[in-house]
C-alpha cells in the first residue's frame, strides 16, 4: 500500500492567511491608472416602451466622461438563447433592464448623472406568473415571438409509467413551490474593462468560466476572442453566479471603448439584489408510486419554471432536476416534462446545486409520505430503494461509486445510539434525506476538460499553471497537494498560477463540484510526466537506471539503496545547466470519460 506524504493530511488553505489578515486584493480593491467609474440606469417599470430617452443633462455634468444608450453603440445579442442586448432599445421587459450607462471620474459623479437622464415610458401589460404567461391572450414578453414559451423543453420517458401507477399499492402526489433565492455573495458583481491602443480588451472579471466568457463576450462585442484577455482576481463568492455573461461585463467594455480609459462597474448591495442572478423560481408537480413493500414503481414529474425576461443557464436546471427524479433512488419508470416560460420578472442564473436541491425537496418529501402511507419507517423505505455502485439509472447514468446505503446505516447508528437525551418539556424530531449529485463530470460542453502545465525551475520551485478557476472552494490548495504528492516534494515548494487566460491552458470552468476530479487529473498527469523527466536527469548523477529511482521527501534516491540520493533541485540543475541541457516543463489535458445527454436526455454525464 502506497504511503501518502501530503494528501490526506490537514493543511492550511493556501489563501487563508491572506484573507483573514485583509491582505487579499479582490476585484473591488483594484485600481488602475486613469480608472473611470461606471453606473447603469435601469428600467422603472417591468414592461414598457421607452418613448423618449434624453441623456444631454447627464452628459453635460462636470466629471462625466461618456453616456451611452443602445442608440450610440454597436452591440450583438448574447445570453444562452441570444435573446437580449446589454443596453435595451425600444422595450424594457423587467426592472433589471439596462437602458443607459455613464462613465465618470468618480462613482458619485456617475450616480448623480443617472439622476439627470430623462426617460418617458409607455407602460405595457405585464405577466409575472409562468403558468399565466403561457395561457392564450397573455401579454407577450417578447412581442416578436408567437407565445411566452421559451425554446427550452425537457421531456423524458422510461418504462411503463401508466402501468406503474395502476398497479401501485400507494400513490402520493403534491405540488412544491420554490421562490427566488439570491446567492448574497459577500463580494457584489464587478467588472473592469480596458482597451489598449491596438484594440485589444483586457477584462478583470469574477467569472467561473473564463474561456467560455471570453468567447461569449467577443460575440457580444462583435470582435474575435483572440482580442480579449480575461484576468481573474480573488472573488468574494460566486455559487454559480459566474457561469453566464452579464450586461455589466458588456457595458463596462462599451463604456471603456467610448471613454478610451479603463472603466470599473461595481454593484452596491441593493443593486446586487436587483441585478444579480438568482436561483430560478419553479413549481414541481410530482406523483410517486410504490408497491406494498415500499419499493418504488414510478415517478411522474412536471416542472414549471419562471424563466424571467431572458433565457440564462438558470433555465437549463431541469437537466439536473431530471437526474434527481430518475436517479436519487432506484425507480424503474419515470416520466418528466417541463414548461419554461418568459415572464416580466428578472431572469435567474445557475446557483449552487443547479436544480438538484429543488428536485430533492420534492422527492424526499414524497419518500416520507410513502413511508407513512405504507406503515414503514422513513429510513427503511430509503434502504429498500437505495442506489448502489454499478447501477445504471433510467437515463443511462453509470453509477461507478455510491455509498448511499452505508450513509443511511451510519445515520441510523447515530440516531439509535449517539443522540443526547431530550430535556424535560422538549420533543425531538428526526428527519432523513439523501442527495444524489454527479461527481467528476456533469458535461455541459463539447469539452468538459482542463489543461495543466507543470514547470520546475533551477531553485526547486514548482509552478502549476492550471486552467481551473479558484472561486473560494480551495482548488488551489488541493491541486498543489496533488502535484507535491506526485513529485515527492514538500507542499510549500508548489505555486499555483490560474488567473490569466493569456497564460493558463483551456478549461471548461468551475462547475458541478468537478474541479478536484478533472483539474486534479490534469495536474497529476502533467506532474507524472515531469517526474519522469526529473528521474531521467537524476539517473547519471546517481549512476542508476531510471527504473530503480524513486522521488519522495524532496529527494531522488535508489529504491533499494536509499542512502544513494540527491536533492530534487540538484537533479534539475544537473540536467539543465550543461551542454545540450533541458528545462523541466510538462503539460497534460484531461477530459472525463462522460457523454453529453442526447435529445432524449439519455447519456452518461
430/223: higher pLDDT: 223
pLDDT for position 353: 84
Q: What's the sign of the alpha-carbon dihedral 413, 415, 416, 420? A: positive
Separation CA 179–CA 361 (nearest Å): 13
pLDDT for position 596: 81
Q: Is residue 174 part of a domain?
A: no
pLDDT for position 155: 97
Q: How confident is the model at residue 593 (pLDDT cuts 50, 70, 90)?
A: confident
Number of structural domains the chain divides into: 1
Weakest mean pLDDT among 37-51, 101-115, 415-429: 415-429
pLDDT for position 598: 86
Q: How confident is the model at residue 416 (pLDDT cuts 50, 70, 90)?
A: confident
pLDDT for position 148: 98
Q: Is residue 213 part of a domain?
A: no
Cα separations in angstroms, 598 against 302, 374, 417, 604: 20, 37, 47, 10
pLDDT for position 287: 98
- What tens digit of pLDDT does each residue of 472-502 get? 899 999 999 999 999 999 999 999 999 999 9
Model confidence at 236: pLDDT above 70: yes
Beta sheet of 48-54, edge-to-edge order:
91-92, 48-54, 118-123
| CATH number, domain containing residue 498 | 3.30.365.10
Question: CB neighbours (10 Å) of residue 442?
Answer: 21
Q: Is residue 338 part of a domain?
A: no
pLDDT for position 339: 98
Separation CA 300–CA 164 (nearest Å): 10
Separation CA 545–CA 539 (nearest Å): 6
Percent of the chain having pLDDT more than 70? 99
Is 252 in contact with 246 (CB distance < 8 Å)?
Answer: no
267/402: higher pLDDT: 267
Q: Is residue 579 part of a domain?
A: yes
pLDDT for position 413: 86
Separation CA 506–CA 311 (nearest Å): 26
Cell output for 552: 519522495
Cell output for 536: 531521467
Model confidence at 289: pLDDT above 90: yes
- What tens digit of pLDDT does each residue of 12-37 get? 999 999 999 999 999 999 999 999 99
- What tens digit of pLDDT does each residue of 90-100 get? 999 999 999 99
Model confidence at 601: pLDDT above 70: yes
Cell output for 425: 418539556
Cell output for 327: 436517479
Global model pTM greater than 0.75: yes
Is 316 in contact with 512 (CB distance < 8 Å)?
Answer: no
Percent of the chain having pLDDT more than 90? 85
Model confidence at 521: pLDDT above 70: yes
Range of the domain at 467: 450-590
Q: How confident is the model at residue 1 (pLDDT cuts 50, 70, 90)?
A: low
- What tens digit of pLDDT does each residue of 362-394 get? 999 999 999 999 999 999 999 999 999 999 999
Give the residue from 116, 101, 62 showing the smallest Cα distance to 257. Answer: 101
592/526: higher pLDDT: 526
- What tens digit of pLDDT does each residue of 532-578 get? 999 999 999 999 999 999 999 999 999 999 999 999 999 999 989 88
pLDDT for position 514: 86
As a whole number, mean pLDDT of residues 228-237 equals 94
Separation CA 326–CA 224 (nearest Å): 41
Q: Is residue 140 part of a domain?
A: no
Q: Is residue 567 part of a domain?
A: yes
pLDDT for position 540: 94
Q: Is residue 512 part of a domain?
A: yes
Model confidence at 337: pLDDT above 60: yes
pLDDT for position 400: 86
- What tens digit of pLDDT does each residue of 23-72 get? 999 999 999 999 999 999 999 999 999 999 999 999 999 999 999 999 99
Cell output for 529: 510526466
What are the φ/ψ torsions at residue 177 (nearest 5 degrees)?
A: -110, 135
Give the residue from 162, 167, 172 showing the smallest Cα distance to 335. Answer: 162
The position carrying cell 410504490 is: 290
Give me the chain's average pLDDT, please.
95
Model confidence at 305: pLDDT above 60: yes
Q: Is residue 315 part of a domain?
A: no
Amino acid at each position: 500500500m502506497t504511503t501518502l506524504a501530503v494528501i490526506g493530511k490537514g493543511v492550511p488553505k493556501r489563501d487563508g492567511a491572506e484573507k483573514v489578515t485583509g491582505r487579499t486584493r479582490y476585484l473591488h480593491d483594484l485600481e488602475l491608472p486613469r480608472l473611470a467609474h461606471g453606473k447603469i440606469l435601469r428600467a422603472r417599470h417591468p414592461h414598457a416602451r421607452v418613448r423618449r430617452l434624453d441623456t444631454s443633462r447627464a452628459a453635460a455634468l462636470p466629471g462625466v466622461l461618456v453616456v451611452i444608450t443602445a442608440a450610440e453603440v454597436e452591440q450583438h445579442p448574447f445570453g444562452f438563447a441570444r435573446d437580449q442586448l446589454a443596453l435595451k432599445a425600444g422595450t424594457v421587459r423587467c426592472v433589471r433592464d439596462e437602458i443607459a450607462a455613464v462613465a465618470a471620474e468618480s462613482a458619485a459623479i456617475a450616480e448623480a448623472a443617472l439622476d439627470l437622464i430623462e426617460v418617458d415610458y409607455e407602460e405595457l401589460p405585464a405577466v409575472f406568473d409562468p403558468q399565466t404567461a403561457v395561457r392564450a391572450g397573455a401579454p407577450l414578453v417578447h412581442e416578436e415571438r408567437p407565445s411566452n414559451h421559451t425554446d427550452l423543453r425537457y421531456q423524458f420517458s422510461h418504462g411503463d409509467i401508466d402501468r406503474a401507477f395502476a398497479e401501485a399499492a400507494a400513490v402520493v402526489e403534491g405540488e412544491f413551490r420554490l421562490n427566488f433565492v439570491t446567492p448574497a455573495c459577500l463580494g457584489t458583481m464587478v467588472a473592469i474593462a480596458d482597451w489598449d491602443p491596438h484594440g485589444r480588451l483586457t477584462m478583470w472579471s469574477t467569472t467561473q468560466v473564463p474561456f467560455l466568457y471570453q468567447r461569449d463576450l467577443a460575440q457580444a462585442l462583435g470582435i474575435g476572442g483572440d482580442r480579449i484577455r480575461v484576468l481573474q482576481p480573488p472573488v468574494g463568492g460566486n455559487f454559480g453566479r459566474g457561469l453566464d455573461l452579464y450586461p455589466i461585463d458588456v457595458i463596462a467594455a462599451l463604456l471603456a471603448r467610448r471613454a478610451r480609459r479603463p472603466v470599473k462597474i461595481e454593484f452596491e448591495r441593493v443593486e446586487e439584489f436587483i441585478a444579480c442572478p438568482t436561483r430560478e423560481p419553479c413549481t414541481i408537480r410530482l406523483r410517486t408510486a410504490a408497491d406494498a413493500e415500499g419499493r418504488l414503481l414510478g415517478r411522474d414529474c412536471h416542472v414549471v419554471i419562471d424563466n424571467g425576461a431572458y433565457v440564462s443557464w438558470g433555465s437549463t436546471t431541469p437537466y439536473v432536476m431530471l437526474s434527481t427524479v430518475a436517479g436519487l433512488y432506484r425507480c424503474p419508470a419515470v416520466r418528466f416534462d417541463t414548461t419554461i416560460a418568459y415572464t416580466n420578472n428578472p431572469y435567474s442564473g445557475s446557483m449552487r446545486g443547479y436544480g438538484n436541491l429543488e428536485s430533492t425537496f420534492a422527492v424526499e418529501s414524497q419518500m416520507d409520505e410513502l413511508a407513512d402511507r405504507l406503515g414503514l419507517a422513513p429510513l427503511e423505505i430509503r434502504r429498500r430503494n437505495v442506489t448502489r455502485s454499478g447501477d445504471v439509472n433510467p437515463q443511462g447514468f453509470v453509477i461507478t461509486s455510491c455509498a448511499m446505503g452505508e450513509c443511511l446505516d451510519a445515520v441510523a447508528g447515530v440516531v439509535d445510539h449517539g443522540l443526547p437525551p431530550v430535556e424535560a418539556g422538549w420533543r425531538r424530531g428526526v428527519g432523513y434525506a439523501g442527495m444524489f449529485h454527479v461527481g467528476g463530470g456533469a458535461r455541459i460542453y463539447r469539452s468538459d476538460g482542463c489543461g495543466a502545465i507543470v514547470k520546475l525551475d533551477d531553485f526547486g520551485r514548482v509552478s502549476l499553471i492550471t486552467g481551473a478557476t479558484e472561486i473560494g472552494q480551495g482548488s488551489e490548495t488541493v491541486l498543489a497537494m496533488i502535484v507535491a504528492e506526485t513529485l515527492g516534494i514538500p507542499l510549500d515548494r508548489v505555486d499555483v498560477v490560474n488567473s490569466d487566460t493569456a497564460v493558463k491552458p483551456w478549461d471548461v470552468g468551475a462547475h458541478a463540484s468537478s474541479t478536484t476530479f478533472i483539474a486534479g487529473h490534469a495536474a497529476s498527469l502533467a506532474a507524472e510526466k515531469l517526474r519522469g523527466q526529473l528521474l531521467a536527469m537524476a539517473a547519471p548523477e546517481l549512476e542508476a537506471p531510471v527504473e530503480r529511482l524513486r522521488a519522495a521527501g524532496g529527494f531522488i534516491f535508489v529504491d533499494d539503496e536509499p542512502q544513494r540520493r540527491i536533492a530534487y533541485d540538484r537533479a534539475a540543475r544537473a540536467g539543465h545547466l550543461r551542454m545540450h541541457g533541458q528545462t523541466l516543463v510538462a503539460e497534460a489535458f484531461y477530459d472525463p470519460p462522460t457523454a453529453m445527454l442526447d435529445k432524449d436526455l439519455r447519456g452518461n454525464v
